[in-house]
Protein backbone atom coordinates (compact mmCIF):
# COMPACT_ATOMS: atom_id res chain seq x y z
CA UNK A 1 0.00 0.00 0.00
CA UNK A 2 1.23 3.50 -0.85
CA UNK A 3 2.42 5.78 1.98
CA UNK A 4 -0.25 8.02 3.44
CA UNK A 5 -0.09 11.45 5.13
CA UNK A 6 0.87 10.63 8.70
CA UNK A 7 2.74 12.84 11.16
CA UNK A 8 4.87 11.35 13.93
CA UNK A 9 8.11 12.55 15.51
CA UNK A 10 11.29 11.00 14.12
CA UNK A 11 14.90 11.09 15.34
CA UNK A 12 17.89 10.53 13.07
CA UNK A 13 21.50 11.58 12.63
CA UNK A 14 23.18 13.60 9.89
CA UNK A 15 26.91 13.17 10.37
CA UNK A 16 27.58 13.90 14.03
CA UNK A 17 24.39 15.91 14.48
CA UNK A 18 21.33 14.20 15.94
CA UNK A 19 18.08 15.79 14.77
CA UNK A 20 14.46 15.65 15.86
CA UNK A 21 11.97 16.16 13.04
CA UNK A 22 8.62 14.75 11.88
CA UNK A 23 7.29 12.57 9.10
CA UNK A 24 5.01 13.95 6.43
CA UNK A 25 3.99 10.55 5.09
CA UNK A 26 4.45 6.99 6.28
CA UNK A 27 4.14 3.53 4.78
CA UNK A 28 5.13 0.09 6.00
CA UNK A 29 8.35 0.26 3.97
CA UNK A 30 9.19 3.96 3.68
CA UNK A 31 8.64 7.44 5.11
CA UNK A 32 8.90 11.03 3.99
CA UNK A 33 10.76 13.03 6.63
CA UNK A 34 10.23 16.78 6.72
CA UNK A 35 13.50 18.38 7.78
CA UNK A 36 15.74 21.36 7.08
CA UNK A 37 19.01 19.45 6.61
CA UNK A 38 18.43 16.12 4.78
CA UNK A 39 21.08 13.38 4.63
CA UNK A 40 22.85 12.66 1.36
CA UNK A 41 21.05 10.45 -1.21
CA UNK A 42 22.15 6.83 -0.84
CA UNK A 43 23.24 7.31 2.77
CA UNK A 44 22.11 4.65 5.25
CA UNK A 45 20.74 6.07 8.48
CA UNK A 46 19.26 4.84 11.74
CA UNK A 47 15.84 6.31 12.48
CA UNK A 48 13.63 6.24 15.54
CA UNK A 49 9.90 6.61 14.90
CA UNK A 50 7.73 7.69 17.84
CA UNK A 51 4.51 5.80 17.21
CA UNK A 52 1.56 6.47 19.51
CA UNK A 53 1.34 4.55 22.79
CA UNK A 54 4.33 2.32 22.05
CA UNK A 55 8.06 2.39 22.59
CA UNK A 56 9.97 4.19 19.80
CA UNK A 57 10.55 2.00 16.77
CA UNK A 58 14.15 1.73 15.58
CA UNK A 59 14.57 1.21 11.83
CA UNK A 60 17.43 1.39 9.36
CA UNK A 61 16.75 3.20 6.12
CA UNK A 62 18.41 4.27 2.88
CA UNK A 63 17.96 7.86 1.74
CA UNK A 64 16.22 7.88 -1.63
CA UNK A 65 17.53 10.03 -4.49
CA UNK A 66 15.39 13.12 -4.91
CA UNK A 67 13.35 13.44 -8.11
CA UNK A 68 13.13 16.68 -10.01
CA UNK A 69 9.36 16.91 -9.46
CA UNK A 70 9.53 16.95 -5.65
CA UNK A 71 8.90 20.33 -4.03
CA UNK A 72 8.33 19.54 -0.34
CA UNK A 73 11.27 20.07 2.00
CA UNK A 74 12.76 16.82 3.30
CA UNK A 75 13.65 13.36 2.02
CA UNK A 76 12.25 9.88 1.39
CA UNK A 77 13.72 7.05 3.44
CA UNK A 78 13.31 3.42 2.32
CA UNK A 79 13.35 1.03 5.28
CA UNK A 80 15.54 -2.04 5.34
CA UNK A 81 13.02 -4.94 5.34
CA UNK A 82 12.05 -5.93 8.88
CA UNK A 83 8.82 -7.89 9.44
CA UNK A 84 8.43 -6.84 13.08
CA UNK A 85 8.91 -3.17 12.21
CA UNK A 86 6.49 -3.43 9.30
CA UNK A 87 3.88 -5.01 11.57
CA UNK A 88 4.18 -2.17 14.09
CA UNK A 89 3.90 0.48 11.40
CA UNK A 90 0.89 -1.30 9.91
CA UNK A 91 -0.83 -1.25 13.32
CA UNK A 92 -0.04 2.43 13.76
CA UNK A 93 -1.47 3.20 10.33
CA UNK A 94 -4.63 1.27 11.13
CA UNK A 95 -4.02 -1.30 8.39
CA UNK A 96 -4.53 -4.25 10.74
CA UNK A 97 -6.21 -4.98 14.06
CA UNK A 98 -8.00 -1.64 14.08
CA UNK A 99 -11.17 -0.15 12.64
CA UNK A 100 -10.99 1.86 9.48
CA UNK A 101 -9.75 5.42 9.90
CA UNK A 102 -9.51 8.46 7.63
CA UNK A 103 -6.71 8.30 5.12
CA UNK A 104 -5.35 11.74 6.00
CA UNK A 105 -5.04 12.21 9.73
CA UNK A 106 -2.70 13.14 12.50
CA UNK A 107 -1.18 10.24 14.33
CA UNK A 108 -0.92 12.14 17.61
CA UNK A 109 -3.66 13.91 19.61
CA UNK A 110 -3.80 17.70 19.57
CA UNK A 111 -4.51 19.54 22.84
CA UNK A 112 -5.84 23.02 23.52
CA UNK A 113 -3.18 25.13 25.22
CA UNK A 114 -2.17 28.76 25.47
CA UNK A 115 1.45 29.79 25.76
CA UNK A 116 3.71 32.40 24.19
CA UNK A 117 5.66 31.60 21.04
CA UNK A 118 8.30 33.77 19.44
CA UNK A 119 8.59 32.90 15.76
CA UNK A 120 9.73 34.20 12.42
CA UNK A 121 12.80 34.63 10.25
CA UNK A 122 16.06 36.50 10.70
CA UNK A 123 14.43 39.60 9.21
CA UNK A 124 11.28 39.48 11.38
CA UNK A 125 10.75 37.85 14.76
CA UNK A 126 7.54 38.34 16.72
CA UNK A 127 5.78 37.12 19.83
CA UNK A 128 2.32 35.57 19.54
CA UNK A 129 0.39 32.81 21.33
CA UNK A 130 -0.20 29.15 20.51
CA UNK A 131 -3.75 27.85 20.86
CA UNK A 132 -3.08 24.11 20.54
CA UNK A 133 -0.18 21.70 20.38
CA UNK A 134 0.68 18.08 19.56
CA UNK A 135 4.02 16.31 19.63
CA UNK A 136 4.35 17.07 15.92
CA UNK A 137 3.41 20.75 15.75
CA UNK A 138 1.21 23.57 16.97
CA UNK A 139 -1.15 26.34 15.86
CA UNK A 140 0.02 29.92 16.36
CA UNK A 141 -2.59 32.66 16.42
CA UNK A 142 -1.45 35.65 14.35
CA UNK A 143 -3.06 38.28 12.15
CA UNK A 144 -0.06 38.17 9.81
CA UNK A 145 0.43 34.49 8.95
CA UNK A 146 3.56 33.49 6.98
CA UNK A 147 3.12 31.86 3.60
CA UNK A 148 2.60 28.12 3.13
CA UNK A 149 5.83 26.08 3.26
CA UNK A 150 7.70 28.95 4.92
CA UNK A 151 10.35 27.74 7.36
CA UNK A 152 10.30 29.66 10.63
CA UNK A 153 12.28 29.56 13.83
CA UNK A 154 10.02 28.90 16.82
CA UNK A 155 10.85 29.58 20.47
CA UNK A 156 8.27 27.98 22.76
CA UNK A 157 7.79 29.51 26.21
CA UNK A 158 6.62 26.31 27.91
CA UNK A 159 6.14 25.96 31.66
CA UNK A 160 8.98 24.54 33.72
CA UNK A 161 12.07 26.10 32.22
CA UNK A 162 13.67 28.42 29.69
CA UNK A 163 12.20 28.69 26.17
CA UNK A 164 13.15 25.91 23.75
CA UNK A 165 13.94 26.69 20.14
CA UNK A 166 13.62 24.73 16.91
CA UNK A 167 12.44 25.15 13.35
CA UNK A 168 9.04 24.48 11.83
CA UNK A 169 7.36 24.64 8.44
CA UNK A 170 3.96 26.21 7.74
CA UNK A 171 1.51 23.48 6.71
CA UNK A 172 -1.80 25.27 7.35
CA UNK A 173 -2.65 28.96 6.98
CA UNK A 174 -5.73 30.99 7.92
CA UNK A 175 -5.80 34.67 6.97
CA UNK A 176 -7.84 37.17 9.03
CA UNK A 177 -10.39 37.35 6.18
CA UNK A 178 -10.76 33.55 6.10
CA UNK A 179 -10.95 33.46 9.89
CA UNK A 180 -13.82 35.98 9.94
CA UNK A 181 -15.75 33.94 7.38
CA UNK A 182 -15.17 30.61 9.15
CA UNK A 183 -15.39 32.04 12.70
CA UNK A 184 -12.01 30.60 13.70
CA UNK A 185 -8.68 32.07 14.80
CA UNK A 186 -6.35 33.47 12.14
CA UNK A 187 -2.86 32.06 12.15
CA UNK A 188 -0.70 29.16 11.04
CA UNK A 189 -0.38 25.49 11.78
CA UNK A 190 3.30 24.53 11.80
CA UNK A 191 5.03 21.17 11.79
CA UNK A 192 8.31 20.73 13.64
CA UNK A 193 11.16 19.94 11.23
CA UNK A 194 14.37 20.66 13.14
CA UNK A 195 15.27 20.45 16.82
CA UNK A 196 17.51 18.72 19.31
CA UNK A 197 16.76 16.17 22.02
CA UNK A 198 16.10 18.90 24.60
CA UNK A 199 13.49 20.43 22.28
CA UNK A 200 11.77 17.06 21.86
CA UNK A 201 11.92 16.25 25.58
CA UNK A 202 10.27 19.53 26.65
CA UNK A 203 7.48 19.18 24.09
CA UNK A 204 6.83 15.55 25.03
CA UNK A 205 6.66 16.38 28.75
CA UNK A 206 4.33 19.33 28.17
CA UNK A 207 2.00 17.37 25.89
CA UNK A 208 1.99 14.48 28.39
CA UNK A 209 0.91 16.88 31.14
CA UNK A 210 -1.95 18.12 28.95
CA UNK A 211 -2.98 14.53 28.25
CA UNK A 212 -3.15 13.71 31.97
CA UNK A 213 -5.07 16.89 32.67
CA UNK A 214 -7.54 16.04 29.93
CA UNK A 215 -8.27 12.58 31.36
CA UNK A 216 -8.31 13.65 34.98
- Please state, for a pLDDT cut of 70, what percent of the chain lies above it: 90
Do 20 and 115 lie in a common domain? Answer: no
Per-residue pLDDT at 36 exceeds 60: yes
* Structure-model confidence comparison of residues 71 and 43, the more confident one: 43
Per-residue pLDDT at 215 exceeds 80: no
Closest by Cα among 98, 133, 105 to 210: 133
Residue pLDDT, tens place only, 154-178: 999 999 889 999 999 999 999 999 9
- pLDDT for 101 equals 43
pTM to 2 decimal places: 0.86
Look up the CATH number of the domain holding residue 33. Answer: 2.40.10.220
* Structure-model confidence comparison of residues 82 and 54, the more confident one: 82
Q: Per-residue DSSP letters for the chain?
A: ---EEEE-EEEEEETTEEEEEEEEEE-SSEEEEE-SSPPPTT-EEEEEE--TTSPPEEEEEEEPPPPTT--SSSEEEEEPP-HHHHHHHHHHHTSSSS----SSEESS--EEEEEEEEEE-SS-EEEEEEEEE-SSEEEEE-SSPPPTT-EEEEEE--TTSS-EEEEEEEEEEE-HHHHHHHTS--EEEEEEEEB-HHHHHHHHHHHHHHHHHHH-
- For the chain, what is the mean pLDDT? 89
Domain boundary among 106, 139, 168: 106
Domain boundary among 79, 106, 133: 106
Per-residue pLDDT at 13 exceeds 90: no
- pLDDT for 52 equals 76
Residue pLDDT, tens place only, 173-199: 999 999 999 999 999 999 999 999 999
- pLDDT for 98 equals 43
Query: pLDDT band at residue 53, thresholds of 50, 70 and 90?
Result: low
Do 72 and 159 lie in a common domain? Answer: no
d(CA 169, CA 177): 22
Q: Range of 46's domain?
A: 4-106
Do 58 and 81 lie in a common domain? Answer: yes
> Most confidently modeled of 90-94, 95-99, 121-125, 200-204?
200-204
Do 119 and 209 lie in a common domain? Answer: yes
**Across 82-95, average pLDDT:** 91
Amino acid sequence: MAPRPFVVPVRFAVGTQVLQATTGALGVDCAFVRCVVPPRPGERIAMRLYLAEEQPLQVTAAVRARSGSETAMGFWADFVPDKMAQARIARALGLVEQTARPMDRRAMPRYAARFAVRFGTVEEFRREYATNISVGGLFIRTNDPPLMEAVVTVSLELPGGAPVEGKAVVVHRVTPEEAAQRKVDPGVGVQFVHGDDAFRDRIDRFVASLSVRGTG
